[in-house]
Amino acid sequence: MTTSQPDDLDTTSPDERLQRAEHIIGVLQKGIAIVSADQKICWANEPFRDWCPNNPIGKGLFDALQTPAEALPPDDSFQAALSGSAVCLRIRQSNTLVLDITISPVRENGQLLELVAICDDVTALVLRQQKLDALYRAGQDLDAIDPEQLAEMNVACRVELLKQNTRRYVHNVLHYNVVEVRLLDPKTRRLEPLMEEGMTPDAATRVLSARVDGNGVTGYVAATGKPYLCVDTATDPHFIEGSAGARSSMTVPIIYQDDVIGTFNVESPLVNAFGPEDLKFTELFARELARSLHTLNLLNAQELCAAVGVIELINRDIAMPADNLLSTTSSLIEKLGDRPDVIEVLRRVLSDARKIKLAVQHIGREVGRSAMELPDPALDAMRILVIDIDERIRKSAHAILERKGCVVETATSATEGISMAKSGTYDAVLVAVKHKEMGGTAAYQALVKAVPLGRVILTQGFEYDGGHTVVNAKQDGYWLPVLFKPFQEPVLFKALTAVAPGPPVKSGPPVGAAS
C-alpha cells in the first residue's frame, strides 16, 4: 500500500525554493539588497537594481545608488546595524529619487552574517509633503505685511499684494500658467474678476453670475459650491472658452465658513490634464486664499464703514441747518412777492442749498456703495417733506428715509412747511395733525393744494386731535392710514408706496395719487 503524502508537504528542492523566493522578492515593490559584513552588496532584487545606474554587486550600498556626497548619511550609520540593531535612513539620489532604507542585521549563533537593506521609494510622498508645506507657507504669506508697511498700505494696495503673491504661488507651487480668480458679490450674485493670467480679453471681462446654467463652469461651481473637473472642453456642457486652445479645466469654489465667496479656475491645453491629486492641492490653496480674501473684505468693510460714518456725520450736521435755510428762504419768497429781483436771488439760494444736500447724499452712497443698504427702487429719489415741531422726529425721518434713497427736507411749523411745499416739488408730505400757529385741518387742506400731484400723509403722536383733523381729512377723501410717531419703518414705507384704491369721495385732485 502506498501512503499518500500530506497536501502541505513541500517536495521542492532547496534550489527550487530559493529560486521561488528570489522570484517573489524580485516582484516586490520594495528594493532589497543583501550587504556583506564588509558592507558590499552581494545580491539585489530587480527594483533595487533599477535604482542603480550600474551593476550594484560588489559595491557599497550608497555607491551603488550613487548618492550625492551632500546627501550621504553620517559615517557611523551602519554601526548600529553592525552592532545588532536595525537602522532607518532617508537618502536622496541626484535624480531627486528619495528612498527610505531600513538596514537590519542577520545573525547566526551570535555571529553577524550579513545585512539586509529594504528600500521604499517615498519620492511621491516627500514631494506631496513639500507641496503641502509650500501651500501652508503660501497661506501664511499671501497677505502678510510688515507692520511698518501696514501703516502705509490701504486696502487697494493690499489687494494688489495679494494678487501678486497668488500669481507667484500658483506658478511656483501649483505650476499652473492659466488661472482666473473671481469674487462673488453676495447681493448681486455676480462673479467679479479679481485676477487672471492667460485668459483671453473677452473671457477676463465676461459677465458671469452664480448660476447653474449659462454661466460656464465658473458660474456652476459658484452656484453649487462643488469643485468641477472638465475633462474635455469639446464635449463639456458647461464649459465656455476662457483661454485660447484650452482642452480641460479645473474649477474649485473659494469657501469661507461654509459660504462661497469666489471661484478659482485653471485651464490646460491638454485633455484630462487634472486629476484627483491636483484637485486636492487646488482646494487646499483655495482655503488659504479664502482666509486672506476674508481678511481683506473685513479691512475693506472697516474702511467703508469709517467713510460712511464720516459721511453720515456730515449729512447729519448739514441736514437740519440746510432744512432751516430752505424753510426760511421759502417763507421769504412768499412774503416778498412784490420783489422779483430779491425772489430770484432767494430761489438761487434754495436751489444751491438743495444741490449741497444732494451732493452729500450722493457722495455717501458712492463711498459706501457695498457697505450701505441698497436703495429701495420704490422709494429711491422720492422727494419727501416732513413737517413736525419735534426735532427727533425730523432727524428720524432723515435717517430712515435717506437710507432708502429718498430726498428729505423738513420744517418745524405748518406755516414754514406750506411755504416750502409751494416753492418745491414733493412726492409726499408728512404733516403732524397738531400745530401751534394753525389748526391741523387748515394745514392739511393748504398742503393738498400746494402738492396736487403728491400725497399728504397725516402723522400723530399721543396728543389729542382736538381739531378733528383726521375726521375732516377722511371726509375730503383721505384714504391713507395715519402714521403714529415715532415712525415704524414698514408702516411708513407702505404709506409712501401705497396705491390709491380709487377716486376720492369728493371731487378735486386725488390726495393720495402717486406722483
**Torsion angle defined by CA atoms of residues 49, 50, 55 and 57, in that order, rounded to the nearest 10 degrees:** -10
The model scores a pTM over 0.75: no
* Contact call for residues 491 and 483 (beta carbons, < 8 A): yes
Question: Would the CA dihedral through 315, 320, 321, 326 be positive or negative?
Answer: positive
Task: Tell me the CB-side half-sphere exposure of residue 32, using CA atoms within 13 A.
Answer: 14
Write down the pLDDT at residue 330.
Answer: 80
Q: Residues 6 or more apart from 222 whose CB is under 8 A from it?
A: 182, 184, 191, 208, 209, 210, 215, 253, 260, 262, 263
The grid cell for 16 is 527550487
Return the number of other C-beta atoms located less than 10 Å from residue 309's C-beta: 13
Write down the pLDDT at residue 236.
Answer: 94
SS3 198: coil
- Strand order in 98-108's β-sheet? 41-44, 31-36, 111-121, 98-108, 87-92
Domain 127-297 = CATH 3.30.450.40: yes
For the chain, 515 residues long, give each residue's pLDDT as a single digit of tens: 445 555 555 566 555 655 666 666 656 678 999 998 888 999 998 889 988 989 999 999 989 988 888 888 876 777 777 777 888 888 888 677 889 999 998 888 878 888 999 999 888 878 777 766 766 666 566 555 554 554 455 556 666 766 777 777 677 767 888 989 898 888 899 999 888 889 999 999 999 999 999 999 999 999 999 999 999 999 999 999 999 999 999 999 999 888 998 999 999 999 999 988 888 888 888 887 887 776 655 444 444 454 555 555 556 667 777 777 877 888 787 777 777 777 787 778 777 777 777 766 666 566 555 444 556 788 888 999 999 999 889 988 988 888 888 889 999 999 999 999 988 889 999 999 988 889 899 999 999 999 988 899 999 987 777 778 888 888 888 888 899 998 889 999 999 998 877 554 444 444 443 33
Q: Where in the chain is the domain with CATH 3.30.450.20?
A: 16-121
Return the number of other C-beta atoms located less than 10 Å from residue 210's C-beta: 25
DSSP assignment, residue 373?
P
Write down the pLDDT at residue 301.
Answer: 46
Return the number of other C-beta atoms located less than 10 Å from residue 456's C-beta: 26
Q: Where in the chain is the domain with CATH 3.30.450.40?
A: 127-297
Rounded distance between C-alpha atoms, residue 384 and residue 495, angstroms: 12
Write down the number of H helices and E strands in the chain. 16, 16
Rounded distance between C-alpha atoms, residue 103 and residue 123, angstroms: 19
Q: Which DSSP string do the residues of 213-246 spell out, in sequence order? A: SSSHHHHHHHHH---EEES-TTT-SS----STT-
Write down the pLDDT at residue 150.
Answer: 47
Dmax of the chain from CA atoms? Answer: 149
Q: Output the CATH code of domain 16-121.
A: 3.30.450.20
Q: Which DSSP string do the residues of 387-418 spell out, in sequence order? A: E-S-HHHHHHHHHHHHTTT-EEEEESSHHHHH
Q: Where in the chain is the domain with CATH 3.40.50.2300?
A: 373-515
The strand pairing partners of 86, in sequence order, are none
Give the domain 373-515 fold: Rossmann fold (3.40.50)
**Torsion angle defined by CA atoms of residues 236, 239, 244 and 246, in that order, rounded to the nearest 10 degrees:** -40
Write down the pLDDT at residue 147.
Answer: 46
